[in-house]
Amino acid sequence: MEKILLSHTGYEVKEARILRTSRLTEKDKLFELSLVDGEILDFEPGQFVEVSLLGVGEAPISICSSPTRRQSFELCVRAVGRLTTALHRLEAGDIVGIRGPFGVGFPITRLIGHDLLLIAGGIGLAPLRSLINYVMDNRRDFGRVHVLFGCKDPQNLLFRDEIELWQRRMDVGFQCTVDRADPDWKGNVGMVTALIPGVDINPEETFAVMVGPPVMYRFVIAELLKKGIPEDQIVLSLERHMKCGLGKCGHCQIHDIYCCQDGPVFFYEKIKDLKGAI
């Protein structure tokens, strides 16, 4: 009898050791991990893994590091439930379970050679960070790059140190805005959509990629269409729908598509007419 390789089916749970943790915000924590068996986690920007703790549960979490940095991988975890709260109590040296990676990531081959407009809202910066750093590490493969990020307030600003580095780069345009400012905030105030009209782009050469809360998409897409970006050059992630990662639980099903298998990344033109998609 031939041995069944469960890793090919997505059911095998591998052990991963936490190498480092850092606090990003009051609710968000960054974990750097590596597989205990020494293998490299082979993933694409935009994919996710299922993270588990024995006796607690399992949840899908997007990989937020770039595959160009292969010795480890990073997860940004927001404490919103039983599992994620338990993860926040872990420290370097602790072990978690990992399944995956799963899903369809960002269409790198389509993006190469084009200008990019990358837009993140709130926790959406975490999965988009994987693509941002991939682009930074392969900067010559892409045209002009603009990154727009909006969050609720300065206290919820993710990856603050990295944002400062991105803002200092001469080959990337980075703008950040908050819905509500405090007295120390010196940046933009307002929704991320307000930044789009002022971005100088060639719409025919630009791919727009967005990750954020569902309420953001309709408004961002409307602004992108006003800029003249074609529907087949608008990319978004529907990761909020996912659960099992295997297309079995039906939690992420929208009509005949499964976000965890057919996505979470989709071209807008493919899902624009699917009720409940955005």
Annotated binding site for [2Fe-2S] cluster: 244, 249, 252, 260
Residues annotated within the binding site are: 244, 249, 252, 260
Three-class secondary structure assignment of the chain: CCCCCHHHCCCCCEEEEEEEEEECCCCEEEEEEEECCCCCCCCCCCCEEEEEECCCEEEEEEECCCCCCCCCEEEEEECCCHHHHHHHCCCCCCEEEEEEEECECCCHHHHCCCEEEEEEEHHHHHHHHHHHHHHHHCHHHCCCEEEEEEECCHHHCCCHHHHHHHHHCCCCEEEEEECCCCCCCCCEECCHHHHHHHCCCCHHHEEEEEECCHHHHHHHHHHHHHCCCCHHHEEEECHHHCCCCCCCCCCCEECCEEHHHHCEEEEHHHHCCCCCCC
